[in-house]
């Protein structure tokens, strides 16, 4: 068993430490970043269809943005400079990209029922502006440069398990 001095020395060394960076990005910019750089945030990798959201769930997320309801942040792991793996929020990102790509027609909305059937392209201009002005929080987890890859993988797995 380690004594207090050894524990403190281990902590102060910074080995295997993770840093967090918080960013807020407007939805159109986020979609553009994902589309223009396939390695920026990989949302299609390791997709499991049984975990994908149906169109109603995706639509309700978009409705939350339109209503300015709180939406949980996306949690990312920075694999290298500006290259991220999604730890939590892959379905939210897919829903946003699908809607902005006009691959999702809104359905099952509970409050803004008049928008059922609309894609992004045919939304009323005011509603598009409201949506475009919404920002989503991104939390990036960044390992220390001297981190042990096995230890970091273990920490990332712990983070993912605790978020889900």
Model pLDDT, residue 23: 96
Angle at which helices 90-100 and 27-36 cross, to 10°: 90
Strands 74-80 and 135-143: parallel
Distance of CA 85 to the CA centre of its chain: 9
Beta strands in 37-134 (DSSP E): 41-42, 74-80, 83-88
Nearest to 130 by CA among 71, 67, 70, 72: 67
Q: Do residues 47 and 93 make contact, with C-beta atoms less than 8 angstroms apart?
A: no
For residue range 36-78, list pLDDT tens digits in order. Answer: 988 889 887 554 445 789 999 999 999 999 999 999 999 999 9
Model pLDDT, residue 46: 56
Q: Following CA atoms 131, 94, 144, 154 in sequence, which dihedral angle do they give, to the nearest 10 degrees? A: 140
Give domain limits for the chain.
15-161
| pTM score of the predicted model | 0.84
- The overall average pLDDT reported for the chain is 88
For residue range 109-133, list pLDDT tens digits in order. Answer: 999 999 999 999 999 999 999 999 9
Q: Do residues 74 and 86 make contact, with C-beta atoms less than 8 angstroms apart?
A: yes
Q: In what order do the strands lie in the sheet with 135-143?
A: 18-26, 135-143, 74-80, 83-88, 41-42
* pLDDT top residue among 139 and 7: 139
pLDDT band for position 7 (cuts 50, 70, 90): confident
16: pLDDT strictly greater than 80:
no
């Amino acid at each position: 068993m380690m004594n207090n001095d050894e524990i403190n020395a281990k902590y102060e060394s910074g080995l295997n430490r993770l840093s967090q960076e918080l960013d807020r990005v407007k939805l159109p910019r986020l979609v553009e970043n994902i589309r223009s750089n396939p390695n920026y945030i990989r949302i299609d990798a390791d997709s499991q269809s049984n975990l994908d959201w149906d169109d109603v769930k995706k639509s309700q997320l978009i409705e939350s943005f339109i209503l300015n309801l709180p939406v949980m942040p996306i949690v990312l792991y920075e694999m290298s400079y500006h290259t991220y793996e999604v730890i939590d929020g892959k379905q939210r990102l897919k829903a946003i990209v699908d809607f902005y790509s006009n691959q999702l027609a809104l359905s099952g909305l509970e409050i803004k029922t008049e928008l059922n059937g609309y894609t992004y392209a045919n939304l009323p201009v005011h509603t598009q502006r409201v949506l475009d002005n919404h920002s989503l929080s991104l939390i990036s987890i960044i390992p220390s440069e001297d981190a042990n890859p096995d230890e970091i993988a273990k920490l990332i797995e712990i983070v993912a398990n605790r978020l889900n």
